[in-house]
Amino acid sequence: MNPKYPNLLSPAKIGKVELRNRVIMAAMGMSQSSEGFVNKAVLNHYAQRAKGGVGGVIVEVTCVDTPLGLNTKGMLVIDDDKYIPGMAELAGVIHEGGAKAFLQISHTGRGARRAIIGDQPVGPSAVAMPYSFMMGLANETPRELTIDEIKAIEEKYAQAALRAKKAGFDGVEIHSVGYYLGQQFLSKTANIRTDEYGGSRQNRIRFHLNIIRRIRELCGDDFAIIVKISVVEQGKDGGISIPDGIYYCKKLQEAGVDAIEVLAGKWSEESGKNEKPESAYPDCMAVPLCQVVSAGIRLTTGRKRTVPLIGGGRAQNPAKAESAVASGKCEFIFIGHGLLVQPDLVNLVAEGREDEIRPCIGCGHCINQQLQHGGTAICSGNAVLARGDNDDTIPPAEVKKCVAVIGGGLAGIEAARIAAKRGHTVDLYEASGEIGGQLNLADKPPFKDHFKLLKPYLERQLELTGVNVHLGKEVTKDDVLAMNADAVVCATGSKPAALKIEGAERALSAKDILSGASSGKNVVVIGGGSTGCETAELLGMQGKNVTVAEVTDTFAGNTGKTAQTILMGHLKGFGVKLMPCTKAKKITAESVICEDKDGKETEIKADTVVIAIGERPDARLYEELKDSCPEIYNIGDSNGGGILPNAVYEGYTVGCQI
């Protein structure tokens, strides 16, 4: 055991369930079930993380009441005995990995979408779900549940817990965060009932207390009950105050729950210029809420808190997690996205190999891919996450080869790293003086703190895998042929698209601005994709008068919905003017002449013009070589590009194929 983390890595109990350490994998929806059933992908996903060293695994949000309780088509389900055999397999692989198994049980309530459930959503009251960062849209008004229906749902939760126990799980977690039914009952804006389930804190917590009481009756005292709760719900539609949250935690403690996972909720489209995206979240950001709960319980009861708290929020920094536990702020640490990108994170910490932990950069594609696009979660760091059978086995190469990778961006690095791990001899060539490719631009905008953590990790990986890195030389066709490599991977990236209008030579590029070039007071950014908007954000923070002209009707469309919402809030907060469906026609010495979709021209004053109209694949080397090399691949931006997870996946796939 790593002596630097004696508290984090020490055993502890949740109720009567003993865990080997105090790190718990938080429940995160992957949406990869087979019509609600556990499949090979689900088994592999959780087996990897159990073997990776966590003390406990909380399996993702699982529906207790289909179809009304579903939030995605790929959601796991536990509302019938037919799901028990698969759940038993799942609990089994978690236990085989040395971790304890808990199942998160839930109902989506008013957060459900008609397109998924085939009917009007239900909720505590007929109050529509407001704009949610994660969902990205306000939902339709739900049908108010009757008291008989509420009691029936309470029983569905309890029966789901009983099925989990029969399947071999050590406990359940009741999900009461975000847009799920548990939080909806606790919120005085979502729950405006005047009967026994609404009107007062005591009535709003009744739903939970009834469920807990019934689970105890069915499952006994040796079966752990955890509640995941928002102790505050912020925003103009927020309905849980800090005193509310403290009261709820106190009542849960009195009800005998075995642990409380502490979080905050938020509703609002008006994110404002002070809101941060996940790429800039502080380490262990939810831990202070645990301190609030502890202080609140002591103040309101006169006694010290007795229920264990699970805190976290970007807690993959082991030093910060150790400090949180050692100081008594919480008894357990939950880690979510950090375990998606690095399944064996805890083992690496225990072995003193912290520099091998791939950081979560907070891009949000894992959530966005599910809730916005109806797919499975994907990751910008872990290429296999929720893809296919989710198998992370890297087979050794049957024939060892000499491999030349041309281009040191993310796709090229991943291909080189995986090929080298398989036993190939790999040389990586990068024309510039540093690896990283587009990452060297992507980490420049504001609030990209965690993007900056990725490059040191990549450099360390190339070192550990023995990849021979050659910097500062642009490789030609003749150079490649002279290498006599057995396999060639072209990952030559992209080039800025040319803006073919009069006066374009007067403009700067987004890269110029993000790299520190100065600008005038009045700036026009031509192009409203993610790079254009992030450039406008930086200029807005500098106090410039900024206008963004975008030919489509969408700004930062390639950005995850949560980050996009916050970015748009920043632009509004800094007074940036957004002009959708607007085409730049001419750049003069003092202005940009634009044309809207109706052909109307507008002249915008500009001391500085910035071009951010995107990139085009640079596949010239691949085209020159494709008929001359016996084994050649084209990946990453030179093969069409796309979102960052796809570049990493292409690199990983090719690295496994060679």
Catalytic residues: 180
**How far apart are the C-alpha atoms of 228 and 225, rounded to whole Å?**
10
Instruction: Give the residue from 180, 292, 186, 300 showing the smallest Cα distance to 242.
Output: 292
DSSP-assigned beta bridge partners for residue 76? 62
Distances (CA, A) of 434 to 429, 455, 521: 10, 10, 33
**CA distance to 29, 58, 156, 279, per residue, from 63 (Å):** 11, 14, 10, 30
User: Which of 46, 25, 38 shows the shortest CA–CA distance to 391?
Assistant: 46
Helix (H, G, I), strand (E, B) or coil at 273: coil
- Burial class of residue 516, CB neighbours in 10 A (0-12, 13-18, 19+): exposed
Tell me the C-alpha distance between 622 and 634, whole Å.
Answer: 6
Q: What amino acid occupies position 226?
A: I
Amino acid letter, residue 126:
A
Residue 493 φ then ψ, to 5°: 75, -145
The answer to whether the beta carbons of residues 168 and 91 sit under 8 Å apart is yes
Closest by Cα among 557, 633, 173, 125 to 401: 633
Taking Cα atoms as reference points, which of 534, 553, 569 lies closest to residue 266?
Answer: 569
For 499, the 3-state DSSP assignment is coil
Instruction: At 434, list the tokens.
Output: 């540093």
User: Which strands, in side-by-side order, build the sheet including 601-605?
Assistant: 582-587, 591-596, 601-605
Residue 620: enclosing H or E segment and its boundaries? helix 620-625
Three-class SS state of 62: strand
What are the φ/ψ torsions at residue 401 (nearest 5 degrees)? -125, 160
Contacts of 148 (CB under 8 A, 6+ apart): none
Single out the residue of 405, 373, 375, 400 nearest to residue 388, CA to CA: 375
Nearest to 331 by CA among 350, 307, 297: 307
Single-letter code of the amino acid located at 194 = T
Q: Of 582, 537, 583, 526, nearest to 559 (Cα)? A: 537
CB contact at 8 A, 637 and 618: yes
Q: Which has the closest alpha carbon to 428: 383, 384, 492, 481?
A: 492
Phi, psi of 209 (to 5 degrees): -65, -40
150 backbone dihedrals φ, ψ, rounded to 5°? -60, -45
CA distances to 144, 181, 232 from 189, in Å? 14, 13, 13
